[in-house]
Amino acid sequence: MKKIMMVFLTVFTMLGLLAGCSSNNSSESGSAEGKGVTLTLLHRWPNEPFKGYFDAAIKEFQKEHPEVNFNVISVLNEDYKQKINVQLSSDTPPDIFFTWAGEYGNKFIRDGQALDLTDYAPEGGKWEDTVIPSTLKPFMSEEKVYGAPILMDVRMMAYNKEIFEKLNIAPPQTWNEFMEVLKTIKKEDITPLGLGNKAPWNGGLYMTSLNQRIVAPEVLAADNNRLTGTFTDPGYVKALEKLQELVPYMNEHPNALSREEERSLFVNGQIAIMPLHTIEFPYVKDAQFEWGTFNFPTIEGGKGKESVVTGAPEGFMVSSKTKHPELAAEFLRFLTSQKMAEKWVETTDVISTTKGAVTKENASPIMVDVIKEVEESDDMVIWLDTALEGKIFQPYLSGIQELLNGEKTPEQVMKDVQKAATEVRESAK
């Protein structure tokens, strides 16, 4: 029995020791940062090759600004969304933080979290001089710039060239051609089209493209604005009907498969066509066949602009509460500079939004084509789930899942969306 007492005593002493030493540690690391200026950077890439890029970029930046220390916080995607919300609730948010474009970033602007960067533009000019204007636009509000895009992700339709050649078909450009292609492939007992919609954003992105093709641009713009969104245009219902037309050509049980399972079916030659993000190109490198991409088909009679790419820029904002606005903006200017942007493309294989950064030398021909289209268009369709507010896109996305399961009609889905949009409109007043 004494033994037990001894054990507990030892434990208590140990605790005291441990407590002592670890608090020492933390105070030491705190004082190390005491010299100069510390910038906190929150980004969403703890994974390679992105993490390596940012680490190297910071080192490069510190050559010119040796007084600046960086406190880097990197958390992935879903964890990032949690973390940013919690951190912005405090008085000491990160100086520079990652954000998606669209409503996701607009809410930070609206609630005064993002610093107006217009006057911090690169020397002797405007942000538009270095950054592709169509990718900057989603970070602007009332003619002011609130963020700097770094990269861009574009969604293309990827197809298995082997299957297309065997069946002697060409990549479709219009909806009717698309349907013909799907029919031809299906006759050969190959699943024509992939959709893994367990995480419902995937189906939402199909709708992003379909809505863009069918609904008039000014209507889309009005509906993407929380003050004016109604979603009453009949085009939205028509777009959902188009999705329904595709269902017979998709893999069975689209809602039961994840995006990764869908991609694995494509890589293994079991589906002929799937929408693929430029960011995902490295992940299909295991494919034993040649593959190509085509732009989402135009739809006969659709009111949307033709051949607009579906994609979205991603970038950084500077906190309005930062103590070092000039340095933080300097870091963003540095990241968007030609030199760093080229390095970004080389390191990550992801499209950069800086003018002239994607070249034949550092990127694949597909990416060069894509960036050309982006530079030429004055607009882009941003993902439904970042363009809209959660209150609207959540019922939209669940509705799409239920539509795919045959549990809801297009009209019912849009009715839920309209109801949500009305609530948002009213609460925004």
Partner 1 sequence: MKTNPAVPYLFVAPGFLLVCLFIYYPVIDNLQSSFFSWNSFSPNREFLGFDNYTRIFGDSVFQIALKNNLIHALVSLLVQVFGGLIIAAILEDNIFRKVAPVLRTIYFMPVLISITVIGLLFSFIYNPQIGLLNKLLEVVGLEQFATGWLGESSTAFSAVIAMGQWIGTGYIAMLYIVAIQKIPAELYEAAKMDGANKIQTFFYVTVPQVKEMTFVAVIFTLSQSMLTFADVYVLTQGGPGNSSQVLSTYLYDKAFVDNEMGYASTIANVIFAISIIFYTIQSKILKTGKGD
Partner 2 sequence: MSNKSAEYKFVAKTADRTGYPAKRKKPWASWNGIALTSAFLFLYFLAVAYPLFWMLINSFKDTNEIFASSWSLPSEWLFSNYQEAWETGVSKFFFNSLFVTVLTILFTVMLSAFCAYGLSRFEFKGKTVILALLTAGLMFPPQVSLIPLYKLVQAIGIYDTHWALIIPYVAFRISLVMLLIRSFFLQIPKELEEAAYLEGCSSAGIFFRIYLPLSKPILVTSMLLTAYWAWNEFLFANIFIDSDSQKTITAGLLAFRDALYTNWGVLMAGLVISSLPLVVLFLFVQKYFVRGLADGGVKG
Residues engaged in binding partner 2 (CB under 8 A): 1, 4-5, 8, 11, 14-15, 18, 22-23, 26, 29, 46-48, 51, 71-79, 82-83, 86-87, 89-90, 199, 259-261, 264, 267-268, 277, 279-280, 283, 286
Residues 259-268: contacts with CB under 8 Å, at least 24 apart: 259/196, 259/198, 259/199, 259/202, 260/196, 261/196, 262/194, 262/195, 262/196, 262/202, 263/194, 263/196, 265/191, 265/194, 266/158, 266/160, 266/194
390-404 vs 201-214: helix axis angle to the nearest 10?
100
For 267-345, list the strands marked E by DSSP.
271-277, 291-294, 310-318
By rule CB under 8 A, what string of x and - marks binding of each residue 378-407 to partner 1? -----------xxx--x---xx-xx-xx-x
Judged by CB under 8 A, the stretch of 174-182, 193-201, 205-213, 235-243 that binds partner 1 is 193-201
71 binds, among partner 2, partner 1, none (CB under 5 to 8 A by kind): partner 2
Nearer to partner 2, 22 or 168 (CB): 22
234-246 vs 175-187: helix axis angle to the nearest 10?
20
CB 154 within 8 Å of CB 328? no
Identified binder of partner 1 from the candidate list 100, 108, 127, 331, rule CB under 8 A: 108
Cα gap 64→389, rounded to integer Å: 40
Nearest distance from C-beta of residue 99 to partner 2, angstroms: 15
Judged by CB under 8 A, the stretch of 23-31, 246-254, 280-288, 298-306 that binds partner 1 is 246-254
In DSSP notation, 138-166 reads GGEETTEE--EEEEEEEEEEEEEHHHHHH
Nearer to partner 1, 46 or 133 (CB): 46
Tokens of 272: 């002929």
254 binds, among partner 1, partner 2, none (CB under 5 to 8 A by kind): partner 1
Judged by CB under 8 A, the stretch of 176-184, 251-259, 273-281, 335-343 that binds partner 1 is 251-259
257 binds partner 1 (CB under 8 A): yes
State the residues that interact with partner 1 by CB under 8 A. 81-82, 85-86, 88-89, 107-108, 111-113, 197-200, 252-258, 261, 389-391, 394, 398-399, 401-402, 404-405, 407-408, 427
